[in-house]
């Protein structure tokens, strides 16, 4: 079942229609490497590029290599989602990016049709229930490492405060612990 098309730029130049919804709530992070399968044709049905026969097409989700309109749409797709994207050729030819290559002879066509599947592969986190929801807060391994680092820092600060309190109590009872541990004074 196809849903009604979404006007990506609110000007009618890029329309995305979901053919099959993706799994879960995760979308690729801008700058990450994604894998897609796609077929590209003109509105008259003439196919000019197709990756369904071969392996997936992998690329970094940034503007510059792949057409900007496609990058913007794919960045908002969920993993496993299949969509039909209709892009006006005028917009596509102005876009930054050169993949997929638009043939020189476009005839009377005014739009290109991309059938795109955002492949769910090993680049994505485990997807089930709570794990997916909790990981959705983190967009990369770097984000998780930052959280772990600050957790360790907070634990260290709490440990030092506890040790200082403990040693203060020992000193109160007549022990000279600050001579042994001068860094705690």
Q: What is the pLDDT of residue 141?
A: 59
Residue 40 bridge partners (DSSP): 49, 114
What is the share, in percent, of the chain residues with pLDDT greater than 90? 35
**Tens of pLDDT along 104-144?**
778 788 899 999 999 975 544 434 333 344 444 455 556 66
CA–CA dist 86, 108 (Å, integer):
16
> Which residues are within 8 A (CB) of 125 and not within 5 positions of it... i.e. 6 or more apart?
26, 131, 132, 135, 138
Instruction: Using DSSP bridges, classify how beta strands 14-20 and 6-7 pair: parallel, antiparallel or unpaired.
Output: antiparallel
Instruction: Output DSSP code: residue 137.
Output: T
- Model pLDDT for residues 74-114, shown as the tens digit of each residue: 999 999 999 999 999 999 888 888 888 888 778 788 899 99
What pLDDT does 83 receive? Answer: 96
DSSP string, 144-166: HHHHHHHHHHHHHHHHHHHHHHH
| Spatial CB neighbours of 48, under 8 Å, sequence gap ≥ 6 | 40, 41, 42, 100, 101, 102, 103, 112
Mean pLDDT, the chain, whole residue set: 80
Residue 172 host element (H or E): helix 141-172
Nearest to 13 by CA among 104, 111, 145, 103: 111
Q: Which one-letter DSSP state was computed for residue 138?
A: -
Question: What residues have CB less than 8 Å from 78, skipping those under 6 apart?
Answer: 21, 22, 23, 24, 25, 26, 27, 118
| Residue 183 DSSP code | G
Tokens read off for 165: 């309190």
Which neighbouring-strand residues pair with 50?
Answer: 39
| Spatial separation of the C-alpha atoms in residues 147 and 138, rounded to whole Å | 9
């Amino acid at each position: 079942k196809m849903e009604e098309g979404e006007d990506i730029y609110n000007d009618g130049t890029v329309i995305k229609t979901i053919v099959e919804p993706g799994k879960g709530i995760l979308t690729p992070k801008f700058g990450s490497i994604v894998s897609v399968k796609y077929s590209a044709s003109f509105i008259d049905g003439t196919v000019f590029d197709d990756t369904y026969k071969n392996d997936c097409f992998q690329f970094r989700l940034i503007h510059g290599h792949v057409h900007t309109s496609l990058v913007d749409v794919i960045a908002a797709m969920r993993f496993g989602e299949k969509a039909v994207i209709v892009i006006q050729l005028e917009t596509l030819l102005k876009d930054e990016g050169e993949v997929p290559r638009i043939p020189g002879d476009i005839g009377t066509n005014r739009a290109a049709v991309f059938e795109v599947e955002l492949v769910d592969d090993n680049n994505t986190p485990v997807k089930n229930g709570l794990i997916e929801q909790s990981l959705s807060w983190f967009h990369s391994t770097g984000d998780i490492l930052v959280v772990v680092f600050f957790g360790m820092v907070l634990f260290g600060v709490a440990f030092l405060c506890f040790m200082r309190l403990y040693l203060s109590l020992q000193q109160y009872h007549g022990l000279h612990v600050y001579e042994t541990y001068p860094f705690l004074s």
